[in-house]
Structure 1
């Protein structure tokens, strides 16, 4: 059997550990693993009639060439946000024929299926978030055996309690927030810390909860700036060091406003989030009269090596996904549910994004986590 593996979307710590574990488990059973470079882009850029393109877009993997990859973060296979189901005409490879309208969206799935057949891939293991896995579902529906692995800093893939990358993002966020306290205190300012979280505020919520910040703004609840300003003004006055801290999800919405998007769409229709922290900071400065420190953590929590939890989950997800693939499973996604490793139909990913249960875990009036009565709850509260 030949297993294809790829990483799509944003990088997270733990991807290399995951890839290595798949390779070692497959090799131990006498099977091959072929790495697809730059995520789904490998299927777009490979020309079955030109062997040089396959060499540029794939990498045969063995225990020997993955021996040390888990010692660093990121993904040595590289990644992209390519989705072959919707490629802008300007990004269609020349060998497939450029489109008259460069802005038109083209579905290259027929080509992708031809490439998979050309590469001799029997089963595919995509590692990614909702967008990457949505195309994994598309291929499953086209008859390709797929066993998916969820990863995202936002921890928002539907159907699983945990995604690779989340623990490291929170751990690193806590450390950086505590480091920022010295400057916030020295200058007696309000620190605004913007974190990942397009539709789910879990990264902001859990990081803020564990770091003990004064207020936490999440994607699920539009924020009343005047009320938040009053709360932070009081927090700052009550602090002997005369500073306050607030975390905010990048996808948070100011009451009466809309999600902050920066720049034009990329060639695959994605627009970057950004700017809500700066807007919040400017309004807080106007309303409180205090100086503001704005810190967008962004790639600082995405980069570097994984923590022990992300390494463990990545390796266990990989082992489980490989076992499922070798058993002939199709259309599955490995998952953690209630603290137990399991698998779910990959179709659950189209049911939406997993979001914070605000009734259970968030005080929408005080903009604070509300964690209570944890007995009997799973480790990640989901």
Structure 2
């Protein structure tokens, strides 16, 4: 009988609980014991660990966040910290580990695998910034959260004939801004992958104003720049009545969509099956609606390709 450990690390994402549930229940189904590690790698070093059973994951598939809590741990980035982590895992008789998180969390899993401790990664991050997989857990839910906010802001924007800048998450990856901007009917989408000029944004606003449209939505990925500063430049150039909304951490919360619940469940089961097959240093993903797995080092070395076709589509549809 294998004993599997599970933790969530880095930024939380809707659907993490569904993944935890899938790992725990499928592991028990296959006759394994499961330990939940609270607060990520920090909790591992501090031995914040408890055995999990079927009841531990009852009624959590619909909940946002993570019941195992999450944190960031600088100590685990050191050789000494990782050595402590491996020692704790062995102390509890844990044979292998499932890590749910983003690239930073996967780096930790990779380091554990290099030390000879089997680990499997499940992508849980709202940014959708991992190149090897089409989607990460939490991305779909966050898109819908943003789209809902865009709709509400558009109502008041239209009523007052205002320009609204909506800042969304995405420091290095503009997927949230791009797809939510398209689905929300934004007039302008600004992402880290494409250079932009304030002059171009202002010219577009002037063009729409000339044809009688007085309200506009600009979706800005946080990695591009400060929304308030951009707003001041636009006001200076166009004289527009403008407001800025920074959605912030509201994007991380909320009940996961059906897509994220199903995706997380499929990935969680695959992770357990990989461990039972003796696989390690792998990450689970999805491509063309099929659950896949690949070497963790290879996955982390891949560069994400920006969807330029969709970006061009946004420009076409927002004339």
Is TM more than 0.5 here?
Answer: yes
1:26-66 per-residue CA deviation (whole Å, 9 max, x = no partner) reads 111111111110011112223xxxxxxxxxx1121111121
1:77 to 52, 57, 68: 68
Q: Are the equivalent residues in 1 in contact too, given 2:8–2:69 (CA < 8 A)? A: yes
1:195-247 per-residue CA deviation (whole Å, 9 max, x = no partner) reads 1111111110000011111010011122211111111232344354x200110
Q: Are the equivalent residues in 1 in contact too, given 2:35–2:52 (CA < 8 A)? A: yes
1:289-339 per-residue CA deviation (whole Å, 9 max, x = no partner) reads 112111111222210110110011011101111111111111111111222
Distance 2:203 2:43 in 1: 52
Distance 1:354 1:198 in 2: 14
Q: Secondary structure at the match of 2:54?
A: coil
Residue 239 and residue 6 in structure 1: after superposition, are their counterparts in 2 closer, same or farther (change >3 A)? farther
The answer to whether residue 112 in structure 2 is matched with residue 143 in structure 1 is no
Distance 2:201 2:250 in 1: 26
Q: Are the equivalent residues in 1 in contact too, given 2:132–2:302 (CA < 8 A)? A: no
Q: Are the equivalent residues in 1 in contact too, given 2:42–2:76 (CA < 8 A)? A: no
2:157 to 184, 207, 217: 184
Distance 1:154 1:353 in 2: 15
1:95-127 per-residue CA deviation (whole Å, 9 max, x = no partner) reads xxxxxxxxxxx7512212211111211110000
Q: Secondary structure at the match of 1:77?
A: coil
Distance 1:134 1:190 in 2: 41
Distance 2:302 2:227 in 1: 25
1:40 aligns to what?
41
Distance 1:331 1:187 in 2: 54
2:99 aligns to what?
126
Residue 19 and residue 62 in structure 1: after superposition, are their counterparts in 2 closer, same or farther (change >3 A)? same
1:98 aligns to what?
none
Distance 1:171 1:369 in 2: 21
1:283 aligns to what?
233
**TM-fit CA distance, 1:361:** 3.4
1:20 aligns to what?
21
1:314-369 per-residue CA deviation (whole Å, 9 max, x = no partner) reads 111011111111111111111112221111111124315524143x3333xxx945
Distance 1:369 1:320 in 2: 39
TM normalised by structure 1 equals 0.79
1:152 aligns to what?
125
2:272 aligns to what?
322
Residue 239 and residue 191 in structure 1: after superposition, are their counterparts in 2 closer, same or farther (change >3 A)? farther
1:308 to 234, 250, 258: 258
1:362 aligns to what?
311
Q: Are the equivalent residues in 2 in contact too, given 1:40–1:83 (CA < 8 A)? A: no
Q: Which runs of 5+ in 2 are unaligned?
A: none
Residue 202 and residue 138 in structure 1: after superposition, are their counterparts in 2 closer, same or farther (change >3 A)? same
Taking the TM superposition and a 5 Å limit, the aligned residue runs for 1:235-314 are: 235-238=208-211, 240=213, 242-252=214-224, 260=225, 276-314=226-264
1:229 aligns to what?
202
